[in-house]
Amino acid sequence: MLWGIVVNLLNLPEDHDLRIWFADLYWVLPFGGAIYGFSSSRQWGGHTSALGKSILLFAGGMLLQALGQIFYSIYAHVFFVEAPYPSLGDIGFFGSIPLYIGGLWYLGKVLNLSKSLKLTKNFLLVVGVITLLLSSSYFIFLKDYDIAEISVLQSVLDFGYPLGQSLYVGMASLVYMLSVGMLGGKLRSRVLLLLLALFTQYLADFIFLFRISRDIFVVGGISDMLYLTAYFLMAVSLVLFNPREEALK
Amino acid sequence: MDLYAEITKKIIFAQKAILGPVAVSIASKTPGLDMHDTNHPSFSSDPKEVLVQLVKNYSEFFGDISIEVCKEAAHDALKQGESIDLPDVLK
C-alpha cells in the first residue's frame, strides 16, 4: 500500500520502474488473501455451510483477480503487449464477477434474507436498486456502443463487465440495506468490512472502465491504488472471518 | 426424544447449515447440554434454561439474525397442535 501511495504522491513518470513494478507486484495481496480465505472457509465447513460457501466464493473471486493481474504482467514483460483485450487476463477479472455474486447469494442465506425478500416493499427495493444500477451502467458505458466489427467475445465482455459489476454491487447494497438493522454480534464488523471491500472494488472497476474508455488510464495510478485498497479490505475481512481468530473463539 | 431435545437438535442443525462445524462446537460449550450424540442431545440441567443459553451463544455471532434462525427452527420442531413452555427468547 505504502509503495503505491509513494508512487502516486511523487507523481513518478508513467515508465518509471517503481511505478511499473508496483503495478506488476500487488497481485501478491489478493493471492495471499485468497489462500487465507480458503483456510477460513474450511474452518466454517467449506461447501457444507452457507458461511463456508460464501467465504469460499469470495476467496475464489480474489484468486481470479490475482490471476488476472499476473496474466497482464506476463503479457507486458514476456510478450511486450500492454493490456491486450480480450485476453487470458479476462478469465481472471471477468470470472471473479459470478463468484462475487455467488458469495453474496450465500451471504444473504447466512443473514436469513429470504424472509425479508418476501415483503413486497423489500422486493420492490431489490428490483429498483438493480434496475437503477444496470441502467446507469448502460447509459454511462454502453449507450453509443457500436457492435459492428467487434468480435462476439469482446461484445460479451464489453456488456458483461459493467452489467455484471452493477449486479454484484446492487446485491451488496441490498444485503446491507436488508440486514443492517438486525445484524449484530461478533461477525457484524466482518460482514460490513466485506461489503465495504465490494463497494471499493466496484468503485475501482467503475473508474478503471471510465479511464480506459476516455484513454486516460495510467499504469500504477489511481485505478491500481483503488484495486489494491479493495483487495486489502477483502483480505483483512477474510482473515478476521477465520474462527481461529482470537476474537471469535 | 422429548420435545426440548427435538427443538435443541433442530436449532443446532439450522445453525450448522449456516456456521458449519462451529455451530456444534458452540453447542457443546453450552453448560447443561450433553452433545455426545449430535442427533440426540440431552440435558443435565433445566432444558428451558439450557435453550436460553444456547440461543444466547449463537446470538453472539450474528445478533438478532441468529435469534430469528433459532426461533424458526424451534417452531419447525413443533408439530401442529403440540405446545410446550418455550423460553421467551424463542416465542
Q: Convert the pLDDT of each residue in B1-37 to its tens digit.
A: 689 999 999 999 999 999 999 999 999 999 999 988 8
Task: Please indicate whether residue B77 or residue A63 has the higher confidence score (pLDDT).
Answer: A63
> How far from B11 is each of A9, A49, A198, B1, B14, CA to CA, in Å?
54, 15, 31, 15, 5
Is A45 in Cβ contact with B21 (below 8 Å)? yes
pLDDT of residue A60: 98
Can you give the residue ranges of every domain in chain A? 2-248
CB A133 within 8 A of CB A169: yes
Say if residue A194 is exposed, middle or buried (CB neighbours under 10 Å; 0-12, 13-18, 19+).
buried
Is A50 in Cβ contact with B17 (below 8 Å)? yes
Is B69 in Cβ contact with A184 (below 8 Å)? no
pLDDT of residue A248: 63
Rounded-to-integer distance, Cα B79 and Cα B84, Å: 11
Q: Band the pLDDT of A195: cuts 50, 70, 90.
A: very high
Residues 6+ apart with CB under 8 A from A130: A166, A167, A170, A171, A174
Bridging pattern class, strands B33-34 and B42-43? antiparallel
Percent of chain B residues past pLDDT 90, beyond the cut: 74
Residues of chain B contacting residue A112, judged by C-beta atoms under 8 Å apart: 65, 68-69, 72
Smallest CA–CA distance from A46 into chain B, residue: B20
Please check the confidence at residue A69 and state whether its pLDDT lies above 80.
Answer: yes
- What ipTM was predicted for this assembly? 0.92
Residues of chain A contacting residue B68, judged by C-beta atoms under 8 Å apart: 112, 115, 182
Can you give the residue ranges of every domain in chain B? 3-90
Rounded-to-integer distance, Cα A101 and Cα A227, Å: 18
pLDDT of residue B72: 93
CB A187 within 8 A of CB B62: yes
Rounded-to-integer distance, Cα B14 and Cα B23, Å: 9
pLDDT in tens, A204-239: 998 988 888 788 888 888 899 999 999 999 999 999
Write phi, then psi, for B47 (nearest 5 degrees): -60, -30
Q: Band the pLDDT of A247: cuts 50, 70, 90.
A: low
Q: Could you tell me the end-to-end alpha-carbon distance of chain B, in angstroms, rounded to an integer? A: 21
pLDDT of residue A117: 77
Residues 6+ apart with CB under 8 A from A132: A170
Write phi, then psi, for B79 (nearest 5 degrees): -75, 160
pLDDT in tens, A115-129: 777 777 777 888 888
CB B17 within 8 A of CB A45: no
Q: How far is CA A230 from the centre of its chain?
A: 7
Percent of chain A residues past pLDDT 90, beyond the cut: 49
Say if residue B78 is exposed, middle or buried (CB neighbours under 10 Å; 0-12, 13-18, 19+).
middle
Q: Band the pLDDT of A53: cuts 50, 70, 90.
A: very high
Lowest-pLDDT choice from A58-62, A204-208, A217-221, B79-83: B79-83
Q: Band the pLDDT of A134: cuts 50, 70, 90.
A: confident
